[in-house]
Amino acid sequence: MSSSSALLAQLIDALRCLPGIGPRSASRIAYHLLGRDRDGARRLSDALRDAAERVGHCERCRNFSETPLRPVCSDARRSGDTLCVVENPAQLAAIDQATHFRGVYHVLMGRLSPLDGIGPEELGLDRLEERLREGQVRELIIAVSATVEGEVTAHYLNEMARALNIRVTRLAQGVPMGGELEALDSGTLTQAFELRRDY
Please report, as ranges, the residues that interact with Zn ion according to CB under 5 A.
58, 60-61, 70, 73
**39 or 182: CB nearest a second copy:** 39
CB of 42 to a second copy, least distance (A): 5
Among 22, 49, 81, 102, binds a second copy (CB under 8 A): 49
Residue 84 identity (one-letter amino acid): C
- Inter-CA distances, 96 with 66, 84, 112, 117, 137, Å: 19, 10, 23, 30, 19
Question: Which span (38-46, 134-142, 148-156, 163-171) binds a second copy, by CB under 8 A?
Answer: 38-46
Distance of closest approach, residue 96 Cβ to a second copy, in angstroms:
8
The C-alpha angle 33, 11, 39, rounded to 5 degrees, equals: 30
**Given strand 167-170, what is the order of strands in its sheet?**
103-107, 79-86, 139-143, 167-170
The reply on whether position 69 binds a second copy by CB under 8 A is: no
3-state helix, strand, coil in the chain (%, to 5): 45, 15, 40
The partner in contact with residue 60, picked from a second copy, Zn ion, none with C-beta cut-offs of 5 to 8 angstroms by kind, is Zn ion
Q: How many residues does the chain have?
A: 199
Site residues for a second copy, 160-189, by CB under 8 A, read: none
Site residues (vs a second copy, CB under 8 A): 1-8, 10-11, 13-15, 17-20, 25, 27-35, 37-38, 40-52, 54-55, 63-66, 70-72, 88-90, 92-93, 96-97, 109-110
